[in-house]
DNA sequence: CTTAGCACTCTCCGCCCTAGAGTGCTAAAA
DNA sequence: TTTTAGCACTCTAGGGCGGAGAGTGCTAAG
C-alpha cells in the first residue's frame, strides 16, 4: 500500500505538472523538468505501476498520464507540501476585514469575494446558522398602529429583525400586549420560548390569542427558515470559465446549476463542525454534477463555536496547497472579524 | 422610412423564424412557412431591400438573413404583437407572491426566481432604493452594555436595522443618551436629521460627542450605502448556457462577468422611473460586454412611487412579446406584494 | 534494476472535396 | 411595372485522408 519513495516523487511530479498545464503528462516531461536522476524509460515503468495501483489514468493509449481521484487523494493526504501564504497575501486578506463593516451581510459578501479573488476558483460561503445558537435578546417594538418589529440578537452577536402584523386594537391594548410579550420574551433562549411563555401569554392575553399565535409562529418559522434556507453567497463564478476542463458549456451548466440550489450547496459544504479543513475530491462529492470538481472547505467560528462554512470550488486539477492555505486564512480572518462583532 | 406592408410582413416573418430557430433565414423558408402568397424570388428581392435599409444582415454571402439591431428595434416598436399571458401563467406568478413572505429579501429573491423561470432568461432585480424615500420611524434600542440597534422604517414600509457601538458609560448615562437620541430621532425624515438634531444632541449630550458622531455617521453611511451598493439579485444565470449564440465560453464569461459587478448592473437596469417597460437591444446597451444581449426592464412601485427595478436579460434573439408580458406582470405582482407590506 | 532502442498506437491538424443551402441576376410571364 | 422561374455562383459544414508528433510498452543490453 505504501509507495516507494521514487513512486511518490513521480506521482508528485505528475500532479504538479498536470495541475500547471492541464495536459496529460508523459515520461519525457517528467524526466526533463523534474530531476529524478533516472531516464524516461524508468519513469515509464513507475508510471505503469502507478496506473495499475490506481493512482493514474490514461485518457487513451498514446497520451500521457493524468492523476485519478485516488492519486489526488494520496497527494493531499501525504505528499502535499504545507504552503504558507506570503505576508503580502495575508495582508491582502486582512485588509478586506480591516474596515469594520457593520452589517453581517457585507462581511459575508466580502468573504466570498476575497476567497474567489485569492484563489481564482469559485467561492461559496454559508451565512451563520442562527438557530443553533441561543438567543440573547428578543424585543418587540411597535411600528405604526398595525405592525411591530421583533428585534432578535443571538448569543453570538447577530442581530436580526422581523416584521409582524398586529390585529386592530386600541392603543392601550397594544401597549399592554407588547408589554406582556416583551416581558415574556426578554432574555429567552429560543428553545425555551415554547411552553412556559405560551401558557403565560395565553393566560394574560386570552383576548389576543391570534396575535400570540401569529407572533410565535412567525418568530419560529423565521428562525427555522434561517437555518434551512440559510443564505448562500457565491463569488467568482466566472472563474470556472477559465478552466480548460470546462470549455464545454454542458459541464459549466451542471456546476453552476448546482450552485443555484441552496439545498445542494449546503450538502456540498456540509454542516459547520469543529474539525479542520476538509478536502473533497471528484467522486468523493456525492453530488453527481460536481464530480469533476474538488472542494476545499472550513468552518468559521464565533466565540469558539463553528457556526458557518466557507469553501472554494474548482476543478479536480486544483492547486490544493494554495487553496488550503487561503481557505484556512480566510476562515480565521472571518472568525476574528465576527468575533468582537 | 415607413416600410410597405409586405416588407413589414417579411421582416416579421424573418424575426419570428430566427427567434425560434437561431438559424439564418432563407427566402424559401419564409415562402414555405409563412403564407405571404408570393414566391421565394419576390421575397429575395424584399430581403435585399430590407438589408439595404439596415433591417437585416447577412452572416456571409450564401447564408440566410439575420435581423440587425435596427430590425429588432423596428419589430418591438411597431410590429410586435401585444402578448397576453395565459391565465395559468398569470396564476403561476401570483402564486409566487401568495404566501405572504415577511422579509423583503425573500420577496426579492422570489421575484428573481419567478422572472427567470417564466422566461428562461437571466433575471436581474434591484432591491428598493431606500434613501429616496423618507424615513417614517427611527428608534434606538440598547443591546447589552456596549451596543445598540437602530431600527429604521421607511415611509414605503421597509424595515432595517443597524448595529452601533456605544462607548463605555454608566447605565444611567446610557439610558439618558438613548432617551435623548430617540426623542430626537422620533419620526424624523432622513433629510431633516442633519442640523437641528445634531445641534440639539450636542447641547444635551455634550459629554457624549463621540457617540452622537458615530451614530449619525453610521446611520447616514448605511442609508447612503443602501443606495449605491444596493443589493443586486440575479436568477437563472445558467439559462444563458442554453442559448446557441452563447455556446462559446468567452461570450458567457463577458456577460456573467458584468453581472458580478454591482455598478454595471445598476447601469444596465437604469434608475427607477415612472415610465413603462423599457426594451434595450444590442448596441443600444452602453456596456460593451453586453452588446450581444437585449434587456427588458420595468420599475416596481410602492405607494405609487417607483423604487426599484426588475428585468430579464437574454440574447438579442429574444421572445420580446413574451418577455414584456412577463416583466410587466411580475412588476405589477411585486408592487402589490410590497404594497400592504 | 536501469536504460537505449524501436515498433506501434493514437490523436491532432491541415487539406481537399463534396453536398447543400442560399443568393443575385437575367429574362420571361403576368 | 411587378412577379416569377431558371441558373450560375458563392460560401460553409462536414466527411475522409494522411502525415506529424507524442507517448507507450516491450525487448535486450548494460
Task: Please state which of the ranges A308-322, B37-51, B114-128, B197-211 shows the lowest mean pLDDT.
Answer: B197-211
Confidence at residue A99, expressed as pLDDT on a 0 to 100 scale:
74
Q: What is the pLDDT of residue A209?
A: 67
Q: Which domains does chain A have, with CATH numbers?
A: 5-79 (1.10.10.10), 87-128+231-338 (3.30.450.40), 135-228 (3.30.390)
Using a CB-CB cut-off of 8 Å, the residues of chain B touching A137 are 143-144
- Could you tell me which residues come within 8 angstroms of residue A130 by beta carbon, excluding any fewer than 6 positions away? A154, A158, A160, A223, A226, A227
Query: Hey, is the C-beta of B102 within 8 angstroms of any chain A C-beta?
Result: yes
**Contacting residues for A279 by C-beta, under 8 A, at least 6 apart:** A76, A294, A295, A296, A320, A324
Q: What is the pLDDT of residues B7-44, one digit of tens each?
A: 999 999 999 999 999 999 999 999 999 989 999 999 99
**Cα angle for residues A226, B128, B184 (degrees, 5° grid):** 90
pLDDT at residue A318, as a whole number: 98
- Say what percent of chain B tops pLDDT 90: 60
Does A161 contact chain B (CB < 8 Å)?
yes
Distance from CA of B303 to the nearest CA of A (A): 16
CA of A62 to C1' of C7 (A): 13
Secondary structure (DSSP) of B170-233: -HHHHHHHHHHHHHHHTT--GGGGTHHHHHHHHHHTGGGHHHHHHHHHHHHHHHHHHHHT--EE
Q: How far is the CA of A101 from the C1' of C29 (A)?
A: 81
pLDDT digits (tens, 9 = 90+) for A243-298: 999 998 999 999 999 999 999 999 999 998 877 899 999 999 999 999 999 999 99
Q: Is A178 helix (H, G, I), strand (E, B) or coil?
A: helix
Residue A212's pLDDT is: 67
Which of B143, B241, B257 lies at the smallest CB-CB distance from A238?
A: B257
| Residues B309, B307: Cα–Cα separation, whole Å | 7
Ramachandran sector of residue B149 (left: φ over 0; alpha: ψ -120 to 50; beta: rest): beta
Q: Nearest-CA distance from A173 to chain B in Å?
A: 21
The H or E element spanning position A284 is: none
- For the segment B164-177, the average pLDDT, to the nearest whole number, is 80
**Span B133-148, average pLDDT:** 79
pLDDT score, position A165: 75
Kindly state the average pLDDT of the residues B163-174: 80
Pick the more confident residue, B325 or A217.
B325
What is the distance between the alpha carbons of residues A127 and A334, in angstroms, rounded to a whole number? 11
Confidence of residue B155 (pLDDT cuts 50, 70, 90): confident
Is there a contact between B295 and B277 (Cβ–Cβ < 8 Å)?
A: no
Are residues B242 and A222, on separate chains, in Cβ contact within 8 Å?
Answer: no
pLDDT-derived band at B114 (thresholds 50, 70, 90) equals: very high
Q: Could you give the 3-state DSSP secondary structure of residue A311?
A: strand
Q: Residue A120: what pLDDT?
A: 98
Spanning CA of A331 to C1' of C18, the rounded length in angstroms is 62
pLDDT for B187: 60
Q: How many residues does chain A have?
A: 341
pLDDT at A187 (0 to 100): 59
Distance CA B229, CA B227 (A): 6
Mean pLDDT by 10 residues, chain A (341 residues): 92 98 96 93 97 96 95 97 96 88 80 97 89 72 82 80 78 82 68 60 66 67 57 95 93 96 94 89 98 97 90 98 98 88 50
Residue B93 confidence class, pLDDT cut points 50, 70, 90 = very high
CA distances from residue A189 to A185, A304, B82 in whole angstroms, order as listed: 9, 19, 56
How many CB pairs below 8 A link A and B? 87
* Banded model confidence at residue B81, pLDDT cuts 50, 70, 90: very high
Identify which of A274, A260, A279 has the alpha carbon closest to the alpha carbon of residue A308.
A274
Q: Read off the pLDDT of each residue in B208-236 and give the average, rounded to a whole number.
A: 69
B237 to A256: CB separation less than 8 angstroms, yes or no: yes
Q: Which pLDDT score, from 0 to 100, does residue A222 have? A: 61
Amino acid at each position: 500500500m505504501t509507495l516507494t519513495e521514487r513512486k511518490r516523487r513521480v506521482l508528485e511530479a505528475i500532479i504538479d505538472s498536470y495541475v500547471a498545464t492541464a495536459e496529460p503528462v508523459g515520461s519525457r516531461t517528467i524526466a526533463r523538468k523534474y530531476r529524478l536522476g533516472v531516464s524516461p524509460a524508468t519513469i515509464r515503468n513507475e508510471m505503469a505501476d502507478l496506473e495499475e495501483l490506481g493512482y493514474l489514468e490514461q485518457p487513451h493509449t498514446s497520451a500521457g498520464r493524468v492523476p485519478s481521484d485516488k492519486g489526488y487523494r494520496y497527494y493531499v493526504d501525504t505528499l502535499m507540501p504545507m504552503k504558507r501564504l506570503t505576508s503580502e497575501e495575508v495582508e491582502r486578506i486582512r485588509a478586506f476585514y480591516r474596515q469594520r463593516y457593520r452589517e453581517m451581510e457585507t462581511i459575508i459578501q466580502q468573504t466570498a469575494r476575497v476567497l474567489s479573488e485569492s484563489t481564482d476558483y469559485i467561492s461559496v460561503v454559508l451565512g451563520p446558522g442562527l438557530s443553533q445558537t441561543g438567543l440573547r435578546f428578543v424585543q418587540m417594538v411597535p411600528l405604526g398602529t398595525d405592525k411591530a418589529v421583533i428585534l432578535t440578537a443571538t448569543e453570538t452577536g447577530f442581530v436580526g429583525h422581523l416584521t409582524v402584523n398586529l390585529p386592530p386594537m386600541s392603543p392601550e391594548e397594544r401597549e399592554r400586549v407588547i408589554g406582556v410579550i416583551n416581558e415574556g420574551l426578554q432574555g429567552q433562549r429560543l428553545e425555551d420560548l415554547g411552553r412556559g411563555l405560551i401558557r403565560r401569554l395565553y393566560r394574560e392575553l386570552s383576548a389576543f390569542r391570534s396575535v400570540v399565535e401569529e407572533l410565535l409562529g412567525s418568530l419560529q418559522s423565521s428562525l427555522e427558515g434561517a437555518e434551512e434556507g440559510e443564505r448562500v453567497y457565491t463569488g467568482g463564478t466566472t472563474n470556472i470559465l477559465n478552466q480548460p476542463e470546462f470549455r464545454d458549456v454542458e459541464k459549466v451548466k451542471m456546476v453552476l446549476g448546482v450552485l443555484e440550489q441552496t439545498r445542494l450547496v449546503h450538502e456540498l459544504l456540509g454542516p459547520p463542525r469543529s474539525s479542520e479543513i476538509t478536502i473533497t475530491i471528484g467522486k468523493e462529492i456525492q453530488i453527481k454534477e460536481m464530480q469533476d470538481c474538488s472542494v476545499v472547505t472550513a468552518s468559521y467560528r464565533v466565540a469558539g463555536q463553528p457556526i458557518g462554512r466557507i469553501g472554494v470550488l474548482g476543478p479536480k486539477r486544483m492547486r490544493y496547497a494554495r487553496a488550503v492555505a487561503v481557505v484556512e486564512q480566510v476562515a480565521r480572518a472571518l472568525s476574528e472579524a465576527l468575533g468582537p462583532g
